[in-house]
Structures are given as structure tokens and as C-alpha cells.
A and B are shown apart, each in its own frame.
Chain A
Amino acid sequence: MRRLSQLTPVAVAALLLAAWEFGVRAAAVPQFILPAPSVIAVRFAEAWADGTMLRHLVPTVTEVTVGGLLGGALGLLIGVTLGLSGSARRVVSPYLVAAQSTPILALGPVLVLWLGPGLAAKVAVCALITLFPVAISTLVAVRDVDAGTLELMRSLGATRWQSLRYARLPAARSGILAGARVAATLAVVGAIVGEWLGGTAGLGVLLNLARGSLFDTPLLFADLLQIAIVGVSAYGLVLFAERVLSKKIA
């Protein structure tokens, strides 16, 4: 039964791809509108073989990694601070909510204006877009730790720092990581949109090139596939970190 349930998603994907391949060929859909999966696969392999994909992948992965880690670390710091201090929470929370309601991506042009069209602006977009989900999930998780656990820590003479290290953070772990999971996929969105605002390399730039000057729809789809792989990998890395952390804490 377990094997069957593991196989089902693969079977569904295979079926969908087969239907797509067959449908496109049967209806003679032009390749520049919707290429068949086999055509996309070939173009994907070619783009890797001639170095195009790697050239554009490296900057995107760099932006996602640097921006995601920076935003995640800042979000964790802000979330822990606000989770611990009621007065800081009352002062800062309204701004945090207001900032989260502002579409971060709309700040893109401003960031490019300030930081130039290079790596910095894209890292900043990624960092900002990751910061909020991590900050808010950390705030809630750190604030809502069971009062009995905190009383136990006090009865054992724990300092504020020890209470954070031994009780609040481990108790808040799953809440914080839920925010990190959301943030990981958002970081990829941030990088792609950041690249649309300007730049010479990146999977977002390649999307524009494939759609515009190159008019290469199979490459466009191959690029989309690559972006999906980056997104899934980022999510997978957070899950992996979660597993390592839970073993370490126990």
C-alpha cells in the first residue's frame, strides 16, 4: 500500500505529461505557443550542454541563498526580540503588519534605484520578502510558549538567556520552521522578480530573453522548469535543516 501511495504522484505526472505530449501533437499546436514536453526536455538538455543554463542559474542561486539567509537571520532576530518583549511588540508590530501588507515586489524599482542593477538590489528584494514570514512566525512561536514551561525554567533559576536557549527556542522550533518553509519559496520569487527589474544574468533575465529577443518558447519553458527545480530544492533544504535540527535538539 505504501509503495503504491508513493508511486501515485509519479504515475499522475507521467499521465499528465503523456496527455500534454499527445494533445499538442494531435492538435498541431504551434511550438512558439506551447511546445511538447519532449521538445522542452531536449531544449533543457541543450541549454545545460552549451552552458546557458548554468550561466543564468548561478546568479539566481546566489541571490536566493544570500538574500534568504540574510532575511531569515534578520527575521529570526526581529521575531525573537518582539516575542520576548511586550513593549517592543506594541511599538513595532503595527509597522510590521503594515510592511507585510505592502507588496515587497513593488519596492523593487526603489531598491534598484538605491542599490543599482547588480546583485545587491536582488539580494535586498529576496531578504525583504523572506524577512516577514520568518519574523511573524518566530514572534508568535516565541511569545506563545507554555507558561508552565517558563515557570519551570524560573524555578530552576534559568536566566532570561537560558530560558530562551533551553525552552523558548526549542518549543518554538516548528513554528519558526513553518515560516522558513514559506520564506524559502518566496525567496525564489523575489530573485526572479528582482532580475526582471534589470541585470544581465539570472533565470529571470533568461525568461525575458527567451520570450523577447530570442523568441525561443522551448527555452522559456526549460527555464520555468529550472526555476521550479530551484524552488523545490530551497524548500527541500529547509526540510532537511528541520530534520537535522530536530535530531540535534533531542
Chain B
Amino acid sequence: MPILHVEGLSHSYGERHVLRNLSLAIAAGESVALLGPNGSGKSTLLRLVAGLLTPTAGRVALVGSVAAAGRPEVGIVFQESRLLPWRTVLRNVTLPLELSGESLPSARTTAEAALKRVGAGGLLDRNPAEISGGERGRVALARALVRQPSLLLLDEPFAALDAITRARLDDELPELAAGAATLLVTHDVAEALLVADRVLMLGADGAIHLEVPGLRSLPSADRRAALLSPDGAARQTRLYAALDSVAHA
């Protein structure tokens, strides 16, 4: 049974239609990347799945029940890290647990473990303003993972980072997600292939146009090489061609 089941989903902002009759299923632990031109509705889809928007038509079922904002089974990382500047790194990560009513000492222990797992264990008492963009990305990821979600939603989480930091996080992401199914929205073809089991191309009409298998199932050390292999290059070419055609459709 899929962990996420999207059926006949449509959404419009007033007169502007961004998603049309979109259907999609993600299995437990599976990782799906969504590529598409600006305005194709990628971020809208994530918000609908997270329950932050209500669809104009269609249905989003999450572990069998209708999606609603704030479900602990869902973790979300936005384009910007959105860390609260008045809280330390550790207290930013305890926040989701505090909101669920967990006591602070127990929340601290869980949050520390989550920060260690994403490689930010040395930042606990720092303020968000004192750490680098890559570190903020890691902390935002720890915050999304701290309630051990079964679905992780990623809205271009590394778009604002420099190329090296971004490449490192792309390489690590499949392992950092810790078994959660992921739905990643991105503009970056290579990132999509590295991080996902399946890469979907969303057209400007808000429907899925192409599906290409990703490289996530390979061991992390082999993924970059596979990306540059003839097969990897062919997958990239197909996706670039599709991106080009949907962007100019």
C-alpha cells in the first residue's frame, strides 16, 4: 500500500490553474523527485500534500487518511531554512516536539540525536545567524526528521547553497532521510537523478509528462560515477529535452 496516494488532484489560484488531474503514488521508503518549469505547480503540490493548501479538486491520502496540516508523519523542508532566529540550533529542532507536547528534556535528547545524524551535532548552542547556509540546511533537515516522519517533503531545500555544499548534501540526502519516503521538488536534473528512485517531469499544464528511473538505489559512492556513465548521461539528456519542451510548450 502506498504511503502517499494523490488522485485526480487539481488546484487553481483564482483563474490560474497550476495543477490538473494529477495522480501519483509513493511507496514507503521510496524517493520521488519532481522536475518542472517555474509555475508548473511543484511547490503547490508539496503544500497540498502537507495539508497547507486545500485542493480545488481531487484527493490526497496519506497513510490511508486525508492530508491535514501538521501531521507528525510528514516532515517538510522549505526553500529557505526558516530557522527561528531567537532560538538556538538545538531549540529550533526541539520545536516540533515541544508543539506536540513533549517535555523539554526528552525533546532535547531526541533533537540532539537528529542533529548528530545530519552532521550538525557540533552546532547545538549556536544561533542560526552564526552558522553557514549549508549548516542551516542541515538543521532544517534535522527539524523535519525529528518526529521520524514516514514522508519527507523537500521544496528545493538546497537551491540557495553554493555548488560544493549542495553536491555534498545531494550525495548524503538518501542516507540522511533515514528510511522516510521523500518527495523532492527541484530544478536541477542531476540532483533529481542522484536523490530519487523515480524522477517525474511536471509540464506547464500541471500534469506528469515523463518518468525516468533515478540512481538512488546505487551505493552512495557509485552514484556520481553512474550519473556520468553513458546510461546516466542518456537519462539526463531525456530529462533536459523534456524540460526544454515543457518549458516552451
Q: Which residues of A contact B (CB under 8 A)?
A: 148-149, 151-158, 162, 166-167, 170-171, 173, 246, 249-250
Contacts and interface: CB of A to CB of B under 8 A. Distances in A.
B240 interface: no
Interface centre among A153, A156, A166, A246 (most CB of B within 10 A): A156
Contacts of A152: 78, 82
Nearest to A170: B86
Interface centre among A151, A167, A173 (most CB of B within 10 A): A151
Nearest to A174: B86
Interface stretch (B1-9, B64-72, B229-237): B64-72
A166 B69 CA distance: 17
A156 B95 contact: yes
B99 A157 contact: yes
Contacts of A166: 84, 95, 98-99
Interface string B11-36: 00000000000000000000000000
Given A148-B80, A250-B87, A157 B100 contact: yes
Contacts of B86: 170-171, 173, 246, 249-250
Main secondary structure of the interface of B (DSSP, over half): loop
A249 B82 CA distance: 17
24 contacts: A148-B78, A148-B80, A148-B82, A149-B82, A151-B52, A152-B78, A154-B69, A155-B52, A155-B74, A156-B70, A156-B95, A157-B70, A157-B71, A157-B72, A158-B99, A162-B99, A166-B95, A166-B99, A167-B84, A246-B86, A250-B86, A250-B87, A250-B88, A250-B127
A234 to B, nearest CB: 26
B96 interface: yes
Contacts of B80: 148
B139 interface: no
A154 B70 contact: yes
Contact of A156 (B87, B88, B96, B127): B96
Nearest to A148: B82
A171 B86 CA distance: 8
A112 B70 CA distance: 53
Contacts of A246: 86
A155 B53 CA distance: 11
Contacts of B127: 250
B148 to A, nearest CB: 14
B24 to A, nearest CB: 20
A171 B85 CA distance: 9
A151 B52 CA distance: 8
A166 B98 CA distance: 10
Contact of A155 (B76, B88, B100): B76
A157 B84 contact: no
B50 interface: yes
A85 B196 CA distance: 43
A155 B50 contact: yes
A149 B84 CA distance: 8
A28 to B, nearest CB: 60
Contacts of B95: 156, 166
B84 A170 contact: yes
A10 B50 CA distance: 59
B39 to A, nearest CB: 19
A175 to B, nearest CB: 13
Interface in B92-144: 95-96, 98-100, 127
7 tightest A-B CB contacts, nearest first = A157-B70, A152-B82, A170-B86, A156-B96, A155-B76, A154-B69, A249-B86
Contacts of B78: 148, 151-152
A107 B72 CA distance: 54
A241 B70 CA distance: 34
A180 B121 CA distance: 39
B117 to A, nearest CB: 19
A246 B96 CA distance: 22
B3 to A, nearest CB: 18
Interface in B192-207: none
Nearest to A149: B82
A246 B78 CA distance: 27
A154 B98 CA distance: 14
Contacts of B82: 148-149, 152
A194 B101 CA distance: 48
A154 B99 contact: no
B22 to A, nearest CB: 21
